[in-house]
Structures are given as structure tokens and as C-alpha cells.
Chain A
Amino acid sequence: MASEDLFAEDFSEEIISELEQDYVQEADIVEQEDIGGKETEEDNVVEEESTTPDESVPVTTNTEEDQTQSSKTKTTNVSSEARLFQLPLTRVRNIMKLDPDLHIASNEAVFLVTRATELFIQSLGVESYTFTAQAKKKTVQKRDVDLAIAAVDSLMFLDGAMSF
């Protein structure tokens, strides 16, 4: 186990970039293959759209345009599900390397930090949005982010670390 980890380390950067490239390709393949599954997904999307009153979307009489629009939303859904991660691993690894105590990070560790950061971005967004909604607004402002950081205990580490 340990020797395997070390062995993999020698090719870490290559494997990572290979993976990143492959995900794009794999996502494309899934899009093509998954036509059967897409229909159910489309149903979900349609349901979501019908439950939320979307005033900003004008009612188009052109059905062709509608179809291209819905196929676009499908594509983004599928590709985001097919990918294991969205942020660039190499960039995250570079940020991690700023830590002078860091000798080697296994690929799995970099992957987990990347995914954790994605979850972090989303949860900070959701926390911030609660303050946006309280103010009866739709657009998250910097103020809402600051309030979320001040309110949530696990975000305390950001206090004062944001002005670099």
C-alpha cells in the first residue's frame, strides 16, 4: 500500500493532467451514450422550471429555439455529473505547495482538497444567501458573505484572512 503510493507519486503531475483531459472526453462520451437517461433528467428539469415562476424568461413562440435551449441545459447537467471534480487539480496543488511544511501530497489528497473546496464554495454561497434572502434580495452581495463568515463558527478562520 505505502509503496504503491510512493510509486504513484513519481508520475503525479502526469496522471493528474491526463485525468483532467480525460474527464472532458469522458463527459462527451457520456453525453452521447446517455440519451436514454437524459430523458428522465429532462423531466426533472422541466418540473423544476414549472414549479419556479420564472418571469425573466420570455415566452417564445419559436419551438426550435426552446428545444436548443433545453438541450443546452441537459448538456451542462450531464457533464457536471460525469466529472468527479470541476476545479483544476494543478491549481489547487500549487496553492497547497505554499505550505512550507508540505513535503508531498498524494494524488488522493489533492483530489480530496479540490472536492472539499468545491463543497466549501457552495456552502459559503448558501450561508451567504440566507442573509441575502433575509434582506429580501436576490443578488448575493459582499456584505452577505461577510455576515456569513461572522455568523458561522467553522468559518471563523476566514476572519481577518480575507484581505490579502
Chain B
Amino acid sequence: MVERIEDLNLPNAVITRLLKDALPDGANVSKEARSAIARAASVFVIFLTSTSTSLARKQNHKTITATNILDALKQLEFESFIDPLTKDLEAYRKVVKDKKDKAKKDTSGTENGTEKESENAA
């Protein structure tokens, strides 16, 4: 779980890279502005999560799903995120599926002890 408060900050290097990709060439972001954006991002995660959990609870679901997140984004007026995220989700599902297929093939190896256990349990 969370042990230090710094564990709730998102890594500065990644935020800098994301901003650099989005802003025109020659643009910079001051340290104070970056940490403000980083804090805003953490608040955004919490805000999006709580909206999604309340949507899931309305449907009597305990697990929040991809659909809950997309619905929550719509509700929070971040509609512009939905199309790119739907595409990303498809790509993510494909990668996970490929990984699972690969893991099934690898179960004979000694590396995947946990995978073996899971198959035995099933």
C-alpha cells in the first residue's frame, strides 16, 4: 500500500516528457507550473475514480470496469478523451490477450510457477 506521501505523486520526468510532446517546439514549463500540473493530475485520478465507483455502485457492481471509466469521463465533460481511449483500450486488450496466449504456451517452463498454480486451481 501507500507508505510515503511521495508515492502519490506522479513521476516528474514522465510529466515533463508528456508536456514536451504536447507543446509546440521551443515552449518550456517552469518548475512551479509543472508541479501544479502534477498535482492537478493526481486530483484528476481521484476525481475520475470516485465518479467511476459511484457509477459502478449504481449498477450494484463492486469492480470498476473500463465502461465505468469511459462513462465517468463523459459525465465529467472530458468527451474528447473517449475516442482515443477507446482505441487505446483495444490495443491494450490485444496486448493482454497475446500475453495470455504466450503464457499458456510457456506453462511447461519453470519460469511461470504462478501460472501453473492457477491452471491447477482451475
A95 near B62 (CB under 8 angstroms)?
A: no
Out of A6, A86, A103, A116, name the residue touching B17 (CB < 8 Å). A86
Q: Is A119 an interface residue when CB atoms closer than 8 A count as contact?
A: yes
Mostly, the A contact residues are helix
Task: Report how far A124 CA is from B57 CA in the complex, Å.
Answer: 30
Min CB gap B100→A, angstroms = 9
Min CB gap B47→A, angstroms = 5
B89 near A122 (CB under 8 angstroms)?
A: no
Q: Is A140 an interface residue when CB atoms closer than 8 A count as contact?
A: yes
Task: Report how far A115 CA is from B77 CA in the complex, Å.
Answer: 16
Interface residues on A, range: 35 or more
Q: Is A98 an interface residue when CB atoms closer than 8 A count as contact?
A: yes
Q: Which residue of A is nearest B29, CB measured?
A: A140
Q: Which residues of A contact B101 (CB under 8 A)?
A: none
Q: Which residues of A contact B15 (CB under 8 A)?
A: 121
Given contacts A108-B89, A145-B33, contact A116 B78 (CB under 8 A): yes
Give the B-binding residues of A (Cβ under 8 A): 5-7, 9-11, 14-15, 18-19, 22, 48, 52, 54, 56, 80, 84-88, 91-92, 94-99, 101-109, 111-113, 115-126, 128-129, 132, 138-142, 144-146, 149, 153-155, 157-158, 161-162, 164
Give the A-binding residues of B (Cβ under 8 A): 1-2, 7-8, 10-11, 14-15, 17-19, 21-30, 32-33, 36-50, 52-54, 57, 62-66, 68-70, 73, 76-78, 80-81, 84-85, 88-89, 91-93, 95-96, 99, 114, 118, 122
